[in-house]
Amino acid sequence: MVLDTKHVLIVEDDQGRKEHILDAPMYSIGRDPNCDIRLASQFVSRRHATLVQLPGDDGDYQYRIVDGAPKGKPSSNGLLVNGRKVQACDLNDRDEIMFGPKIHATYHLQEQESEQVRPQNYDQTIIPMENWSNESKG
């Protein structure tokens, strides 16, 4: 058995609750329609924050949240992680992110077991094609 880690951001805004599975190198977060993770609120900047994937040990990775665009200006209202105003923060399981009034997200790491199946474990059954054509005519 191998443990796979799934990175999830659960966002709650004016339109309700959405779950985002994170696996890309970077995500833009804000109210701009072109953002990867769109937040529905007038209190959120167009480019409020950026999630950046950082390589870790053993092929794993983690995410860092950065206030504003990666090479741009910070957001108007700032960014709070677990109640602290931050410019950037490496996220841990169950961190609470506040983008503005009633606009927040929770970062989760979900570990799930997966089996590594080797090719020799597959059952190789070969069905001749002529058997398929005879059955379909029936």
Residue 67: both structure tokens together: 């206030």
Dump pLDDT digits (tens) for 57-84: 777 899 999 999 878 889 998 999 999 9
- Buried-state track 2-40, b at ≥16 Cβ within 10 A, e below 16: eeeeebebebebeeeeeebebeeeebbbbbeeebebbbe
Is the pLDDT score of 28 beyond 70?
yes
Binned at pLDDT 50, 70 and 90, residue 103 comes out as: very high
Please report, for the chain, the start and end positions of each structural domain, with discontinuous segments joined by +: 2-117
In Å, the largest CA–CA distance within the chain is: 71
Is the pLDDT score of 118 beyond 60?
no
Can you give the pLDDT at residue 135? Answer: 52
Report the mean per-residue pLDDT for the chain: 86
User: Which CATH number applies to 2-117: 3.30.950.10, 2.60.200.20, 2.40.50.140, 3.40.50.1440?
Assistant: 2.60.200.20
Q: State pTM to two decimals.
A: 0.77
